[in-house]
Amino acid sequence: MRVLLLDLDSTRPDHLGCYGYHRNTSPHIDRIAAEGVRFDNYYTSDAPCFPSRTALMTGRFGIHNGVVGHGGTAADVRHEGESRDFRSRLASESFPSLFRSAGMKTSLVSPFGERHTAWTFYAGFNEIYNTGKGGMESAEEVTPVVLEWLERNAEQDDWMLYVNYWDPHTPYRAPEEFGNPFKDDPLPEWITDDIFAAHREKVGPHSAHEINMYNNRVSPQYPRHPGELVDRNDLRRMIDGYDCGVRHMDDNIGMILNAMEKKGILDDTVIIITADHGENMGELGIYGEHGTADQATCRIPMIIRWPGCIAGHVDRGLHYHLDLPPTMAELLGLQQAPSWDGRSYADSILTGEDTGRDSLIISQCAHVCQRSVRFDEWLYIRTYHDGYHLFDKEMLFHIKDDIHELYNLAPARPDICREAAYRLLDWHDEMMMSMEHDVDPLWTVIREGGPYHAKGNLSEYAERLIESGRGRYVEELRKRHPQEN
């Protein structure tokens, strides 16, 4: 058996053609989707990058593995303590080690372990190819490494190759010679003039005035990435920059698929296409960041083409990305690791059966501290630290009719909020009762001063707000974050 896993950083599904996007961003990904199963309601349990990939590789929620942020105590995987053996559990219970248990060679093409000094991400791989730029790679720097690996290994049996692309991640980096295939395509219809004007009244990192987190500075090295959205030309530059990143990446994926086809192995290789998180492109007034526990950040693509299983199927059940390890275990005829929190959806791939969950709890503690509940047609967001965005404590969105989160229905639907809060409490009880520690790492982040990307920056940001004519928000920000006054 051969398995190719494509991990596409910051790729939101609704900017892919196979998920209904109106732009031709992903013809090669679309081809694989047509031959396999596309999961429409697939979410990372813990956003953004480091928490998400730690949850996938350990098979455990951030509240269990300890990693929910990008800095501080909650950016280290919890030690096993006295029970630790000569090797930690990761040696046998990491996601890659599953494939090694099946007798497969495991290879990784990614700089991610170095980017976040994360041994967790490397555990279980036989080979690691660090592309060397800590996530600033462009696809044309990654693809040659993959093609060289395939030239040496493609025709061997029993390997799993994990490839990490970065092009949809900020700053948008498609090379200048790539051009802009979308310059004449319409922008997403939902961002009307009125909505865009409302976005320009928002505050917070990566708002329309501060694409560069706390300021509007730009880099000549990344001409596709604006520093501020003043008008709709800037909005076009922003969205086109992201979409060009997706398309440039997809073109490179096409090169890999073509190489596999020439080697005669494409048709019988398992192909998995997914992401660590999505990207806010206007949702909640945020552009070019994955900083919330919402639909835009936490919903991710999942496409699995498993030769001999159903093709062209769409699964609409609710799933976590950490459900992938137990799913692969079942499909490979192996036992699920005892520490994993996930649940197999193998029958969705084998027969198209609905294996979805009743609800999901999704978390974010790197830019804000939020936990959210996704159930039925609702998304409930509870904010513990607003990351300087002035979010309401409770937000409720009817995802079916308001997928871009424009209308907070929490004041009008306290009944739905109560149900969501009960689901959140019930999940939290289960998590706390099923771990060796008695500390929720979300509260560790709060106690250590707040999320990594919104800690100690209020004074600088207050100056920026005053300079840009939005000083009226400073008092409320200081009231909410007295520890930074």
Q: What is the pLDDT of residues 29-74, one digit of tens each?
A: 999 999 999 999 999 999 999 999 999 999 999 999 999 999 999 9
One domain for residues 334 and 467: no
Residue 438 domain flag: no
Residue 443 domain flag: no
Looking at residue 483, its pLDDT comes to 85
Residue 399 domain flag: no
Looking at residue 311, its pLDDT comes to 95
Q: How many domains does the chain have?
A: 2
One domain for residues 101 and 228: yes
Residue 166 domain flag: yes
One domain for residues 471 and 337: no
One domain for residues 317 and 466: no
**pLDDT score of 6 more than 80:** yes
CATH code for the domain of 117: 3.40.720.10
Residue 178: pLDDT band (50, 70, 90) is very high
Question: Quick one: average pLDDT of 318-347?
Answer: 97
Last residue of a domain, one of 357, 375, 406: 357
Last residue of a domain, one of 334, 357, 380: 357
Looking at residue 270, its pLDDT comes to 98
**pLDDT score of 356 more than 90:** yes
One domain for residues 143 and 284: yes
Residue 121 domain flag: yes
Looking at residue 350, its pLDDT comes to 96
pTM given for the model:
0.97
One domain for residues 9 and 156: yes
**pLDDT score of 1 more than 80:** yes
Looking at residue 417, its pLDDT comes to 98
Residue 375 domain flag: no
Q: In the predicted model, what is the mean pLDDT of the chain?
A: 96
Residue 427 domain flag: no
Last residue of a domain, one of 297, 322, 357: 357
Residue 484: pLDDT band (50, 70, 90) is confident
One domain for residues 337 and 479: no
Domain extent, residue 147, equals 2-357
**3-class SS string, the chain:** CEEEEEEECCCCHHHCHHHCCCCCCCHHHHHHHHCCEEEEEEECCEECHHHHHHHHHHCCCHHHHCCCCCCCHHHCCCCCHHHCCCCCCHHHHCHHHHHHHCCCEEEEECCHHHHCCCHHHHCCCCEEECCCCCCCCCHHHHHHHHHHHHHHHCCCCCEEEEEEECCCCCCCCCCHHHCCCCCCCCCCCCCCHHHHHHHCCCCCCCCCCCCCCCCCCCCCCCCCCCCCCCCHHHHHHHHHHHHHHHHHHHHHHHHHHHHHHHCCCCCCEEEEEECCCCCEECHHHCEEECCCCCHHHHECCEEEECCCCCCCEEEEEEEEHHHHHHHHHHHCCCCCCCCCCCCCCHHHHHCCCCCCECEEEEEECCCCEEEEEEECCEEEEEEEECCCCCCCCEEEEECCCCCCCCCCCCCCCHHHHHHHHHHHHHHHHHHHHCCCCCCCHHHHHHHCCCCHHHCCCHHHHHHHHHHCCCHHHHHHHHHHCHHHC
Question: Quick one: average pLDDT of 212-239?
Answer: 96
**pLDDT score of 485 more than 80:** no
Residue 402 domain flag: no
Looking at residue 176, its pLDDT comes to 95
